Amino acid sequence: MIHPIHKPAVEVIHVALGLMDALMRDQMTMDDYARELRTLNVDDLLAAHQADFKQDPGLVYYLDALMLLSSLQHELEYQVAEYGANVASEDMKCLRELLVKFTNTSEE
């Protein structure tokens, strides 16, 4: 049975990937990227499923992806200053790898 976090987490991640792709292709500015990224309800999802994350180890990939996005939302300026604007490419890679793991665990 698929956990209730699956659909909203996948939707948020797809939106974030789209934003990262637009940033990497110079189709949006860093300011627009930061503003749009912060509109995603990542922290709400984390809070709503906090107890589930503690009880169900099968949700670790969802937690990893949402924590990555939450970190970006709260520390984007630092990460860009430290690693440059190309930080999005590594984040995209991680999120795509986690999405594959969602597919593998959501059918169990």
- In this prediction, residues 2-14 reach a mean pLDDT of 95
What integer pLDDT is reported at residue 87 of this predicted model?
78
What's residue 86's pLDDT?
Answer: 78
| Res 108: pLDDT | 44
* pTM assigned to the model: 0.90
- For the residues of the chain, what is the DSSP string, one character each? ---TTHHHHHHHHHHHHHHHHHHHTTSS-HHHHHHHHHTS-HHHHHHHTHHHHHH-GGGHHHHHHHHHHHHHHHHHHHHHHHH-TTHHHHHHHHHHHHHHHHHHHHT-
Q: Give tens-digit pLDDT for 36-89.
A: 999 999 999 999 999 999 999 999 999 999 999 999 999 988 887 787 777 788
Predicted local confidence at residue 55, as pLDDT: 95
Q: Quick check: 107 pLDDT over 60?
A: no
